[in-house]
Amino acid sequence: MTLTWESTYAIALELRRQHPEINIEEVSLGQIYQWTIQLNEFEDDLALVNDDILYAIYQDWFEENIHGK
């Protein structure tokens, strides 16, 4: 499965899986960016990202932590 910046929910699930010990409330958008581009499945133009996309990933991850246990 290829991940792109439009795959915010799938990225959030993968980041949650890879970083289960992380308190999402302490994660910065910069960390989300770095972790996302390091994902093996991630294949998109790095220039296309913006804070809205990173925040959407953050929100999806946060919601999964609350509701997705």
What CATH number should be reported for the domain holding residue 23? 1.10.10.600
The pTM score is 0.93
Domain assignment present for residue 3? The answer is: no
1 falls within a domain: no
User: Contact 66/23 with Cβ under 8 angstroms?
Assistant: no
Q: For residue 23, what are the domain limits? A: 8-67
Residues facing residue 4 across a β-bridge: none
**Domain-located, residue 22:** yes
Question: Is-contact 58 26, C-beta < 8 A?
Answer: no
Q: How many domains does the chain divide into?
A: 1
> pLDDT digit string (tens) for 36-55?
999 999 999 999 999 999 99
pLDDT at 18: 96
**How many angstroms separate the CA atoms of 17 and 3, rounded?**
15
The residues, ordered by sequence, that sit 6+ positions from 27 with a Cβ below 8 Å of its Cβ are 58, 61
Residue 63 included in any domain: yes
